[in-house]
Amino acid sequence: MAFCDYWNCVWVVIGGSVTIYLVRLLDRLGLAIRDRFFPPPPPPPPRRRPPPPPPVSQPASQSSELKDVLEAIRTQTEDLGRRIDAVESRSSEASTQLAEEISTLSGCVQALSEASRQSSSMTDSQGPFGEPAGHWTAEFRFRPTAGADSVGQ
């Protein structure tokens, strides 16, 4: 039994070796056929940069159009500058007038505060404008009118 097992192993090893040899032989044969009848494509040419495009000369009509556009932009810029100057001058005039009015109002406030201080320091016998005290309070007394009792009934 051991003898048969031994020869089986030998035949397996020999058969495997022959099989591997035949596969390699067929592979080489297939590669040779492929290279003979289907050659590989040539390698791509090296990539070069395209030359820069030649400078484009502008026709005379485009040049004159550009000059016209630049002149229009310059004119609009000058006009905007004049408008800004006018707004700034009006703004400075308005701020000057406002400062004058503020100084006038501050003078009025000072005069009123001085009058208020003087009136608070007066005696009870005089009103704020020098009149008798009774005259001042008499104007604001409540005086019932005729028929006031019938209101709401």
Tokens for 39?
């050659």
- Residues 63, 68, 69, 73, CA torsion sign: positive
Cα 78 to Cα 84: distance, rounded to the nearest angstrom: 10
pLDDT in tens, the chain (153 residues): 566 677 788 888 888 888 988 899 999 998 888 888 888 888 888 888 888 887 776 666 777 888 889 999 999 999 999 999 999 888 888 888 888 888 888 888 888 888 877 766 655 556 556 665 555 444 444 455 555 555 544
| Contact (CB, 8 A) for 129 and 118 | no
pTM: 0.32
Cα 126 to Cα 132: distance, rounded to the nearest angstrom: 5
Cα 3 to Cα 59: distance, rounded to the nearest angstrom: 102
DSSP summary character for residue 132? B
